[in-house]
Structure 1
């Protein structure tokens, strides 16, 4: 039980103090796991970090789950993952509650209306920035067909997004074999 508590508490501190997201948390995770609790060596941490960076998703949660699993199996993974996610979850729920209470306030309503177009612009800019690497000069046809097929399936055929993602994954795996 003390290992589970240590995993939860160590990663909870990372979740509270990890300012700047995952990359800012990596050094904290290293200090907690290598120097603080001595769950692994620096070499082992570097290997887990390299594998974690190769996988999609937030690095802090991947490291928490992997280290927790190595220390105490599935329960360790769950404890570490809960520890690193809980601070953000509590803060987000608290902010959501505050927004619900003050949503009729004209300043809050204006803030919410003002954020929507900013998020859309940021997403469009991200897509425009990623297009050159997504569609390489010599192999652009297949990714373009995947994009068009996914758009048609979502917009006109009204397929659920999950099925479009799974079909794209299967098609990509077949294409890259």
Structure 2
């Protein structure tokens, strides 16, 4: 029973504090699941995140379901999903009218502008945590090539990220075993 409550409470905090969608939520989920409750280590989280990013849908719910399953089975999935979804549902229902009525208020605009840089900080923080597992000392050349080619494909050639993800998954299966 305790692990299900931990799953609910941990993901409830993610649901409450994960402003900005996936980018803001990923580092919170990592902090809770790796550093907080020690449900997994950084390498396991990075693998789960990589698989989750390759699948369609919101990353927070995919990670909640995966971690919930790993920690508590079916009831764990339900607990984690309820925790991550409930805050958003309640806030969306409660604040929709307020935001609609005050969308041009300079304080509301300022709040939104103030949060955006923090999302970037959270993304950079998680990237720095993943670098050692992604570019190990003994085999860093091929992952670095994947990174550079993927960056050029998405930013320079404007290829679909979906296409680049599928190509990197296939290439990784062939060359990074």
TM over 0.5, shorter chain: yes
Deviation for aligned residue 1:81: 7.8
Structure 2: give runs of 5+ residues left out of the alignment: 15-28, 34-38, 50-59
Q: Give the Cα–Cα distance (whole angstroms) in 2 for the partners of residues 24 and 147 of structure 1.
A: 27
1:103 aligned counterpart, secondary structure? coil
1:18-167 equivalences under 5 Å are 18=10, 19-21=12-14, 54=44, 56=48, 60-62=64-66, 67-68=73-74, 83-94=82-93, 97=96, 98-167=98-167
Shift of 1:155: 0.9
CA distance in 2, matches of 1:121, 1:24: 17
- Which structure 1 segments of 5+ residues have no match? 1-10, 26-48, 72-76
Q: Give the number of equivalent residue pairs.
A: 139
Q: Secondary structure at the match of 2:48?
A: coil
Higher relative contact order (Cα pairs below 8 Å, separated by 6+ residues): 2
If the length of structure 1 is used for normalisation, what is the TM-score?
0.56
Specify the structure having the higher radius of gyration (Cα).
1
The 8 Å contact of residues 150 and 164 in structure 1, kept in 2 or not, is answered as yes
Q: Distance in 2 between matches of 1:84 and 1:122?
A: 21
TM-score (norm 2): 0.56
Aligned in 2, Cα 1:136/1:149: closer, same or farther, shift over 3 Å? Answer: same
Distance 2:109 2:169 in 1: 39
Measure, in 2, the Cα distance between the counterparts of 1:93 and 1:121: 25
SS in 2 for 1:56: helix
Q: Is the 8 A contact 1:64 1:81 kept in 2?
A: yes
Equivalent pair of 2:142/2:176 in contact (CA under 8 Å): no
